[in-house]
């Protein structure tokens, strides 16, 4: 069984590309580890995820750097390394909404 579920922040703004008549984007998300290292700090893993077609289009339209997303998918590898193929993306929060909430805006 090859299933992955991740929650993390988008580390850079997204751009959609056309690849063999399909839309694709690669989003890297920062996922915090659930434990502290020897220095008492949390470490972060940076996981590349490939999004295709409508998932890529919607994510590029509604998300930006700093937003928190959930990704459900599978691990795949090729000559460029290992990455997650997203089967589902959930928009959990946006950096702008978090800032507005902190400033008391609606």
Give the chain's end-to-end CA distance (angstroms, integer): 43
Question: Tens-of-pLDDT digits for all 106 residues of the chain?
Answer: 999 999 999 999 999 998 788 999 999 999 999 999 999 999 999 999 999 999 999 999 999 999 999 999 999 999 989 999 999 999 998 666 666 666 666 5
CA-CA-CA-CA dihedral for 46, 34, 42, 48, to nearest 10: 0
- Closest alpha carbon to 72 in 51, 102, 57: 51
CATH superfamily entry for domain 4-102: Nucleic acid-binding proteins (2.40.50.140)
Predicted pLDDT at 19: 76
Predicted pLDDT at 63: 93
Instruction: Output the pTM of the full model.
Output: 0.82
Predicted pLDDT at 96: 61
């Amino acid at each position: 069984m090859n299933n992955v579920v991740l929650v993390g922040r988008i580390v850079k703004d997204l751009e959609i590309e056309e690849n063999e008549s399909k839309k694709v984007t690669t989003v890297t998300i920062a996922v915090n580890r659930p434990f502290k290292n020897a220095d008492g700090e949390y470490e972060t893993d940076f996981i590349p995820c490939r999004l295709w077609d409508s998932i890529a289009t919607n994510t590029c339209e509604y998300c930006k750097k700093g937003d928190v997303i959930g990704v459900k998918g599978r691990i795949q590898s090729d000559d460029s390394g290992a990455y997650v193929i997203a089967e589902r993306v959930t928009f959990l929060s946006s950096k702008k909404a978090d800032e507005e909430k902190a400033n008391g805006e609606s």
